[in-house]
Structure 1
């Protein structure tokens, strides 16, 4: 018997509200120092290092809005019958450099939910694609995240 009901699968295609953030030279420099990105263009804040977009679009939430695993509750996702989350993969495509003064907008889409049988029982997989565009609506980054629930 499948864990995935038609009601659960109906959430495929759901989109988040767009989130708009500005990139600052200071934030680029702080991220470069924190991550050990030692190239001069990063340390001077002229261009953002890889992965800079990840904390830029993380929600800042109260502790009571975290799951027992310490992850923020994602309003894009439906309530799944399995709750223990594991990383299943991350693929990031960079299309344009991120520079100070850029206004970036991210939109996340739940693109797939599927089930597989593992050694210890059923597993649920879900995939979310986040597109980050600039004010000219040019794709800057596409990130595909896969999570596994057991």
Structure 2
């Protein structure tokens, strides 16, 4: 049995919709852009810490792709981190009625390398929130996009991540 949720998506089993109009109104919300300068020293430290073997990484000319994901993470004192070691919630995703969140996958598109001297801008957007009925109950899917560009607007990388709340 399928029924339509107020968000326009079908809900398996006809269960009650968990997402409210307030949740749906958050779709399209963006966090303020975050800017970071890439330095040769940071690239070299990252390359050493992760055992990189390519000379361009070891010398700090170009950053390994995963370097990007720590670049925009704020450095906070331990007491400001959550029990899981992560920074506080950004406020991008509204509080969900289901609390257990797990990774649902991500897709990345790379447009250019990351080089010493680049000034990069990261912009997170809430792309979608929707429900599905899983084999063990309701699920809420959260889709977030992270766009990284140079300060001049040249695309570097786009990542679409899905989180699943149950």
Q: Which interval holds the TM-score relative to the shorter structure?
A: over 0.9
Shift of 1:68: 4.7
Q: 2:66 aligns with which of 51, 61, 69?
A: 51
Shift of 1:62: 4.4
Matching of residues 67-106 of structure 1 within 5 Å: 67-72=82-87, 73-106=89-122
Change (3 A) 1:52 1:138: same
Q: 1:136 aligns with which of 152, 157, 162?
A: 152
Computed over aligned residues only, the root mean square deviation of the Cα atoms, in angstroms, reads 1.5
Matching of residues 1-150 of structure 1 within 5 Å: 1-63=16-78, 65-72=80-87, 73-150=89-166
| Distance in 2 between residues matched to 1:88 and 1:46, nearest whole Å | 33
Superposed CA deviations along residues 72-104 of structure 1, whole A, max 9, x for unmatched, are 312211111112111111112110111001100
Change (3 A) 1:46 1:110: same
Moved over 2 A (4+): 59-72
| Distance in 1 between residues matched to 2:77 and 2:140, nearest whole Å | 27
Change (3 A) 1:71 1:149: farther
| Distance in 2 between residues matched to 1:62 and 1:121, nearest whole Å | 38
For normalisation by structure 2, the TM-score amounts to: 0.84
When Rg is computed on C-alpha atoms for both structures, the one with the higher figure is 2
Give the aligned length: 150
What runs of 5+ residues in structure 1 fail to find an aligned partner? none
What runs of 5+ residues in structure 2 fail to find an aligned partner? 1-15
